[in-house]
Amino acid sequence: MLVEILKISVKYLGVWLNSAVSFGPHVRAAAAKTENVINALSKLMPNIGGPTEQKRKILGSVAQSVMMYGAVLWADAMYVATYRDALHIVQRRIALRICRAYRTVFYDAVTVLARVIPAHLSAKERKRVFYSELPKQEEARLSKVDTLERWQREWSEARKGE
């Protein structure tokens, strides 16, 4: 299915575009690419033994960076549940490795345990900072506070992983 999607899209500066400018092809391609990175990193950080949590967090940030490439452009695609879920599936695997959790732990819970901001919130934060008219440092600080408040609200309202 991914091959079919990529046939009707064009890659420009690492971002997949289609005629509808929905960024769906990019989100799917980013999820697939991040999945490959996670598979490689999983060999470096097994759940039993392996590096400390700080080192796992650094290795996890590599996968996060691959996933969030171009987030300023495709942040609005996170309003579509299918695209948001595609990134959450991959991000959940990153968080599971960071905190050495079992694969049965829910997404909301494991992101809190690993202290990994959910992809949809992180993408919106990056877009807000990029397009802000305030000085970047000030906007980055305000955006981080807003993102953490939104994450807290989502966590408080989540029914899974209570």
21-67 pLDDT, tens digit each: 677 777 788 888 888 888 888 777 776 777 777 888 888 888 888 88
pTM above 0.95, yes or no: no
User: What pLDDT is attached to residue 17?
Assistant: 64
Q: HSE (CB half, 13 Å, CA atoms) of 80? A: 14
Q: What mean pLDDT comes out for the span 133-150?
A: 87
Considering only CA atoms, which of 60, 56, 77 is closest in space to residue 124?
77
User: What pLDDT is attached to residue 92?
Assistant: 92
Higher pLDDT, 71 or 91: 91
Higher pLDDT, 142 or 25: 142
